[in-house]
Amino acid sequence: MPGTHILILGGTAEARQLAAELTGRGGLRVTTSLAGRVAQPRMPAGEVRIGGFGGPEGLADWLRQHRVHAVVDATHPFASVISANAAQAAAAVGIPLCALRRPGWSAGPGDHWHSAVSLVDAAAQLPALGRRVFLTTGRLGLAAFACLDQLHFLVRSVEPPEPPLPRHIRVLLDRGPFTLEGERELLRTHDIDVLVTKDSGGPATAAKLTAARELGMPVVVVRRPSAPPGVPLAPDVAGVLELLGQLGQLGQLGQLGQLGQVG
Ligand code: NAP
């Protein structure tokens, strides 16, 4: 088995890009971990393990057992529990951790964005903004909207949501990337007058924001949870390679010293 073992905490497009970039490099063993929420996940290159670790202690045990040299947290910006667990586990084991955090979206001219600190806050703002809601915050956390009996919801998620759910709800099972034409069509067909989104960032799900802007539609944007303090962040795969390369040059990761120079 090759010497340096990297664990990628995945579940995002960038995690798959990173796995593809690292897998097959001489001397590297690359494992991606998926939470197991999606029945048919898009599989990354390299080794894959699926399911929770059992909290930070379980993750620390796994890191020791599998002789992991470095962890890259490439989970979704809203997956805050696993990110905190990774910080705790990597510190306990004494191995480096860095995180890939794609930049958030920012409002431009013509946007009517309303910032929310949580799904509950987003739900509280909705009655003043519209009656027909396109809810794209994922299948979890819909309980926050369940009490809004007067509003009609179009919910888009990869897997079916579970109760409690709003009384008037239509579910669209789909996963990105989504096109501008498709998003325009969706907003028109369902007569949507307000959009709710997490500030996920990235291009795959940004078209809905453009479509909403074109229609002058209000958008409630749920702010990101903060990343664990002290973890080096990179905005993309190239940035992670650079961080890993720096660790290599510091002698902490052997053959990873050249990574930052490869694109
Ligand atoms: P979370 O709330 O941060 O994590 C909850 C628990 O799920 C963790 O304590 C961990 O269980 C397990 N877990 C999460 N990510 C894992 C991973 N990559 N490998 C192994 N176990 C993992 O996570 P979440 O928000 O439910 O997201 C779950 C997964 O979906 C993440 O991998 C994330 O990248 C992806 N995702 C999330 C969102 C979102 O909006 N939250 C959107 C797109 C994709 P244990 O404590 O037992 O280890």
CA of 72 to the centre of ligand 1 (A): 14
Give tens-digit pLDDT for 177-216: 999 999 999 999 999 999 999 999 999 999 999 999 999 9
Q: Which of 31, 57, 82 to mutate to test the pocket of ligand 1 (most atoms within 8 A of CB)?
A: 82
Which residue intervals of the chain bear CATH 3.40.50.720? 4-103+225-249
Examine the pLDDT at 1 and tell me if it is beyond 50. no
pLDDT of residue 25: 87
First-to-final CA distance of the chain: 25
The pTM for the full model equals 0.93
CA of 33 to the centre of ligand 1 (A): 10
Report the pLDDT averaged over residues 38-57: 96
Measured distance CA(130)–CA(105) in Å, rounded: 22
Task: Confirm or reject CATH 3.40.50.720 for domain 4-103+225-249, answering yes or no.
Answer: yes
Share of the chain above pLDDT 70, in %: 94
Give the Å distances, CA to CA, from 119 to 106, 144, 193, 212. Answer: 19, 6, 18, 19
Instruction: Using pLDDT thresholds of 50, 70 and 90, give the confidence band for residue 262.
Output: very low
Instruction: Using pLDDT thresholds of 50, 70 and 90, give the confidence band for residue 121.
Output: very high
Examine the pLDDT at 83 and tell me if it is beyond 60. yes
List all residues 6 or more positions away from 14 whose beta carbon is below 8 Å from its beta carbon: 74, 100, 102, 202, 236, 237
Tokens of 59: 């993750």
Comparing 3-7, 41-45, 211-215, the range with the smallest average pLDDT is 3-7
CA of 87 to the centre of ligand 1 (A): 14
Architecture of domain 112-222: 3-Layer(aba) Sandwich (3.40)
The protein residue with its alpha carbon nearest to ligand 1, atom 24, reads: 79
Measured distance CA(7)–CA(30) in Å, rounded: 6
Give tens-digit pLDDT for 136-174: 999 999 999 999 999 999 999 999 999 999 999 999 999
Measured distance CA(70)–CA(115) in Å, rounded: 35
CA of 85 to the centre of ligand 1 (A): 10
* Average pLDDT for the chain: 94
15 in Cβ contact with 82 (< 8 Å): no
What atom of ligand 1 comes closest to residue 78's alpha carbon? 41
The protein residue with its alpha carbon nearest to ligand 1, atom 27, reads: 79
Residues with CB under 6 A from ligand 1: 9-12, 33-35, 37, 52-55, 58-59, 75-76, 78-82, 85, 138, 198
Instruction: Using pLDDT thresholds of 50, 70 and 90, give the confidence band for residue 27.
Output: confident
CA of 112 to the centre of ligand 1 (A): 30
Question: DSSP of 49-112, one letter per residue?
Answer: EES--SHHHHHHHHHHHTT--EEEE-S-TT-HHHHHHHHHHHHHHT--EEEE-PPPP---TT-E
What one-letter code names the amino acid at 224?
Answer: R
What atom of ligand 1 comes closest to residue 11's alpha carbon? 34
Tokens of 228: 């664990």
Share of the chain above pLDDT 90, in %: 89
What atom of ligand 1 comes closest to residue 54's alpha carbon? 47
pLDDT of residue 9: 98
